[in-house]
């Protein structure tokens, strides 16, 4: 594959060309030349778009493709296409499948599927057998097979001793442990944020304390054991504060946040739309502001779409009975450009998550492999059903204003364009 990117503004703070508009010549998957003007010669595909920007390929640390077991929601093949056309060259796959990803053969299945596509797939193995929170799964065997982290997707671990043992054990191979932040005894059967709006609407609620108490417990365990801990999809102002203080102590802690928790809040629940049923629940405007500040100051390491396709039979029902989750790959960039500085956003989609999850990355420079995302951060539009490429249509961002669109990706000596 030979490609010439014309007049592309490079966004990569580690590159000598950061902030500069250059032509970029790629031959057989390698960046051959970066210059002010490169003349097209021979059999080279020229790519020229309005306001073209290029960065290192984006990495999403929490994606569900539902295969094996729930192919009616999404398949890996279609999920790869969605991710590529949404700007992601790599994704970490959640283990919320059937059967679970709690042994090495299940990891091998995902690794082999991933080798066939343009998007790099990195399996997350279950932390416990069958995600039941009772016994540790085969962590080391899965690690050797290709799992990059271990956690039971959207399931908190009530057994503090089991998390302690996991943190200690994983240190033997520098493994990353993921702990979903929710105390189930406090959450009970709630599904929206506890506050004025839940009271007005008469919906069962989950207090912020359910998240914050679990995070405080996990941080105490991490301080006791050492090791590496990742807390996904935090949603409250106090959660940001707790993690900020833990980082000041020198703990090896990382965390993520979703675009919907940055952009939306519990005031959007007034229509009882089940697409707004997510976990953690949407919190308050104050929480969203604190989360944005946490991304900007580096307390929050990364942003994840938390892409979770749910079929219509399990989503378009009464809100209380609907499954949790929203798709998010297609809407991630457009929703984030509205609220974050561009370099902050790109860092939270590239170098930071790749560093935490141990996924390779390289700066945009001559001689390096081309693992790139092509985009326009200024285009404005309304996100509608026509923008959804996922098999399931449960998007929390339908009919929301967007700023920023994706042109495509280059990876593995191949190119996929969204348009």
Residues recognised as catalytic: 306
What is the C-alpha to C-alpha distance for residues 39 and 323, in angstroms, rounded to an integer?
53
Q: Where are the alpha helices (DSSP H) in 95-236?
A: 104-114, 139-145, 160-170, 184-187, 196-201, 208-225
Helices (H) and strands (E) in the chain, counts: 14, 18
* CA-based nearest residue to 319, from 198, 153, 404: 198
228: which 2 tokens? 């590496």
- For residue 223, give both structure tokens: 């301080």
> How far apart (Å, rounded) are the C-alpha atoms in residues 75 and 83?
12
Contact between 4 and 40 (Cβ < 8 Å): yes
CA distances from 382 to 46, 281, 388, 395 (A): 29, 24, 12, 13
Residues 6+ apart with CB under 8 A from 188: 204, 206
How far is it, in rounded angstroms, from Cα 120 to Cα 252?
A: 26
Q: For the CA atoms of 187, 160, 60, 211, what is the dihedral angle to 10 degrees?
A: 30
CA-angle at 283, arms to 277 and 288, nearest 5°:
120
Say how far apart CA 9 and CA 58 lie, in whole Å. 16
CA angle at 9 for the pair 4 and 12, rounded to the nearest 5°: 105
Q: What is the largest CA-CA distance in the chain?
A: 67
DSSP 8-state symbol, 244? H
Measured between alpha carbons, how far apart are the two ends of the chain, in Å? 19
Radius of gyration of the chain measured on its C-alpha atoms: 21
Q: What's the rounded Cα separation, in Å, for the pair 366 and 372? A: 13
């Amino acid at each position: 594959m030979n490609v010439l990117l014309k007049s592309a503004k490079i966004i990569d703070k580690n590159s000598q060309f950061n902030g500069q508009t250059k032509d970029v010549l790629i031959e057989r998957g390698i960046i051959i030349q970066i210059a002010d003007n490169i003349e097209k010669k021979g059999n080279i595909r020229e790519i020229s778009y309005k306001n073209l920007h290029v960065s290192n390929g984006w990495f999403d640390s929490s994606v569900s493709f539902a295969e094996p077991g729930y192919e009616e929601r999404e398949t890996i093949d279609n999920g790869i296409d969605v991710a590529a056309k949404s700007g992601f060259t790599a994704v970490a796959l959640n283990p919320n499948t059937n059967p679970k990803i709690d042994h090495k053969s299940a990891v091998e299945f995902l690794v082999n599927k991933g080798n066939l596509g343009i998007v790099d797939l990195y399996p997350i193995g279950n932390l416990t057998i069958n995600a039941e929170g009772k016994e540790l799964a085969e962590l080391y065997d899965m690690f050797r097979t290709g799992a990059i982290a271990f956690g039971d997707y959207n399931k908190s671990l009530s057994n503090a001793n089991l998390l302690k043992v996991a943190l200690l054990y994983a240190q033997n191979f520098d493994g990353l442990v993921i702990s979903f932040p929710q105390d189930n005894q406090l959450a009970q059967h709630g599904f929206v944020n506890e506050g004025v709006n839940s009271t007005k609407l008469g919906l069962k609620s989950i207090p912020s304390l359910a998240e914050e108490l679990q995070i405080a417990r996990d941080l105490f365990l991490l301080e006791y054991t050492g090791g590496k801990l990742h807390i996904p999809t935090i949603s409250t102002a106090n959660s940001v504060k707790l993690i900020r203080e833990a980082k000041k102590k020198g703990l090896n802690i990382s965390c993520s946040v979703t675009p919907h928790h940055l952009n939306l809040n519990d005031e959007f629940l007034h229509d009882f739309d089940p697409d707004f049923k997510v976990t953690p629940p949407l919190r308050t405007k104050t929480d969203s502001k604190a989360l944005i500040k946490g991304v900007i100051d580096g307390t929050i390491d990364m942003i994840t779409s938390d892409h979770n396709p749910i079929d219509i039979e399990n989503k378009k029902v009464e809100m209380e009975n609907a499954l949790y989750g929203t798709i998010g790959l297609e809407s991630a960039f457009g929703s984030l450009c509205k609220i974050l500085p561009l370099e902050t956003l790109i860092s939270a989609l590239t170098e930071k998550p790749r560093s935490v999850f141990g996924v390779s990355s390289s700066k945009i420079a001559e001689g390096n492999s081309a693992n790139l995302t092509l985009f326009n951060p200024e285009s404005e539009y309304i996100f509608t059903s026509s923008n959804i490429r996922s098999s399931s249509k449960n998007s929390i961002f339908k009919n929301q204003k967007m700023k920023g669109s994706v042109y495509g990706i280059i990876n593995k000596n191949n190119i996929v364009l969204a348009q």
